Amino acid sequence: MKIKTSAPLRGAITVPGDKSISHRAVMFGALAKGTTRITGFLMGEDCLSTIDCFRKMGVAIEVADDAVTVHGVGLHGLRQPEGELYTGNSGTTTRLLCGILAGQAFSCTVSGDASIQKRPMGRVITPLRQMGAHITGTQDNFCPLTLGGGSLHGITYSLPVASAQLKSAVLLAGLYADSPTTVIEPAPSRDHTERMLRDLGVTVETNGNVITLTPPTELLARDVAVPADISSAAFFLVAGAIVPGSALTIRNVGINPTRTGILDALREMGADIEETNVRGDAEPVCDLIVRHSQLHGITIGGDIIPRLIDELPVLAVAAAFAQGETVICDAQELKVKESNRIAAMVSELTKAGADVEETEDGMIIRGGRPLHGAQFATYKDHRIAMSMAVCALACAGESEILDPEVVAISYPDFFDTLTHLGG
Ligand code: S3P
């Protein structure tokens, strides 16, 4: 995919549905009693992997346009699949599924693509075993994992990393335990699991960083309207902020406070972002308006990291066009995402002429140099591809994004929207 220096980005766009909420809507709908109609569902490859896995366990799921209907089988209604459950590139499918499978009477095997087979699963194996689950995995840390067949009891578990996937795996196993389960987070991570389970009638109490789930007898189905994904909006927030003359509206974006670190960081860098038409209850949404402005460097670290973890690659792009130094720290988790996102961004921004240094737990970007187009690798990682496409908009000359089709994981129409905006 070739991308040239962009004209100002103007107009109003809608980005696809939230990936985290779409996954959970299918999973919880499958475990609920009754029918769940999901609108605004993200038809990306990751969420389709989740649908596939639950269909294989006997759940009837209909897909039409952006609406999905899940015919729940109840907490104890899943059936043993024939063969392995394949989760593709999706960490959320893999880890949340582990929590659910830990509590089933049957056992089955979960695996995914080459990237999934390299991502650490020991973090979910440890607490699930403490709850009584039977699990085996490659080197006790990698897919394929075989799980299930144990009877579970509640535990109190301090998460070693602020990870919503890990927290959710433990809470979901907690649905099947004989006593309450408590997780303690080092810093708040996205809380969609807690909010959505509460909405289905489960008692989930949050006190600061301590979350306790009481095992329910059943989940009651409720329709879900999925807001647009702030992690997808992030690419256009940064594009609007760095391409001179831009003024862009992004509609109906989810602004759950555990996800809005990107807004806080960009504003601290001097970005002009307005939130209008704020609405919603279980998951707040608004329309975001971004206008071009000169950015400056900041330090991004500490508790904000889990609130913008997926947005760090595109924030690194913003930093490259900002005046002065940006330090990203406490972000070791980036090394174990779909790719090593620290190494990937350092290498690709360097190709464009940026001054970027890799550190133990992040990177240092000395911004403000004029950048030039180049051929950018994507490491089979959707967010690296979209981040470098945004970078290309503000580089002098032409760039090429290799393997652009990887964006289909979370944003199948990304390049169409970019082209439509004149990018
Ligand atoms: C997610 C949690 C985050 C995030 C991922 C989606 C979720 O992962 O990076 O894209 O839906 O729970 P970690 O929990 O591993 O940080």
Neighbours of 274 (CB within 10 A): 11
CB-based contact 179:204 (threshold 8 Å): no
The CB of 6 under 6 Å from ligand 1? The reply is: no
Of the candidates 310, 361, 403, 413, the residue annotated as catalytic is 310
The pTM for the full model equals 0.98
Neighbouring CB atoms inside 10 A of 83's CB total: 8
Name the residue at shortest CA distance from atom 13 of ligand 1. Answer: 163
Q: Which residues pair with 61 in a beta bridge?
A: 70
Token pair of 122 as six digits = 């020991």
Burial annotation 225-256 (CB, 10 A radius, 16+ → b, else e): bbbbbbbbbbbbbbbbbbbeebebbbbbbbbb
Coil, helix or strand at residue 82: coil
| Sheet with 35-39, side-by-side order of all strands | 60-64, 67-71, 35-39, 224-225
CA distance 306 to 303: 7
Report the pLDDT value the prediction gives residue 148, as an integer from 0 to 100.
82
Mutate to test the pocket of ligand 1, among 190, 336, 340, 382 (most ligand atoms within 8 A of CB): 190
Which atom of ligand 1 is least distant from the CA of 306? Answer: 16
As a whole number of angstroms, the distance between CA 317 and CA 235 comes to 10
CB atoms within 10 A of CB 324: 14
Give the residue carrying structure tokens 């929590």. 99
> Does residue 348 line the site of ligand 1, with CB under 6 A?
no
- 20 in contact with ligand 1, CB cutoff 6 A: yes
Q: Is 307 left (phi over 0), alpha (psi -120 to 50) or beta?
A: alpha
Residues in the chain, pLDDT under 70:
422-423
Find the 4 Cα to ligand 1 centroid distance in Å.
32
From the list 299, 300, 288, 305, the residue with the least C-alpha distance to 235 is 288
Closest ligand 1 atom, CA of 165? 14
- Report whether 200 contacts 217 (CB < 8 A): no
d(CA 43, CA 66): 7
Ligand 1 centre from 92 Cα, in Å?
6
> Is the CB of 410 inside a 6 Å radius of any atom of ligand 1?
no
309 touches ligand 1 (CB under 6 Å): yes
The DSSP call for residue 59 is -
Cis peptide leading into residue 180 (ω within 30°): no
Residue length of the chain = 423
| Residue partners of 384: CB distance under 8 A and separation at least 6 | 313, 338, 339, 341, 344, 345, 348, 377, 378
Alpha carbon of 326 to ligand 1 centroid (Å): 24
CB-count exposure of residue 397 (10 Å: 0-12, 13-18, 19+) = exposed
Quick check: is 310 catalytic?
yes
Question: Helices 192-199 and 164-174: crossing angle, nearest 10°?
Answer: 30
Mean pLDDT of the chain: 97
Helix runs in 57-115, H state only: 91-102
* Ligand 1 and 333: CB distance under 6 A: yes
CA distance 39 to 22: 9
Residue 423, pLDDT score = 55
At residue 158, the pLDDT reads 98
Between the alpha carbon of residue 35 and those of residues 70, 220, 222, 264, the distances in Å are 6, 9, 7, 38
Query: Residue 28 has what pLDDT?
Result: 98
Where are any strands of DSSP class E within 224-293?
224-225, 247-254, 272-279, 285-291
Atom of ligand 1 nearest to the CA of 337: 9
Q: Is 27 in the pocket of ligand 1 (CB under 6 A)?
A: no
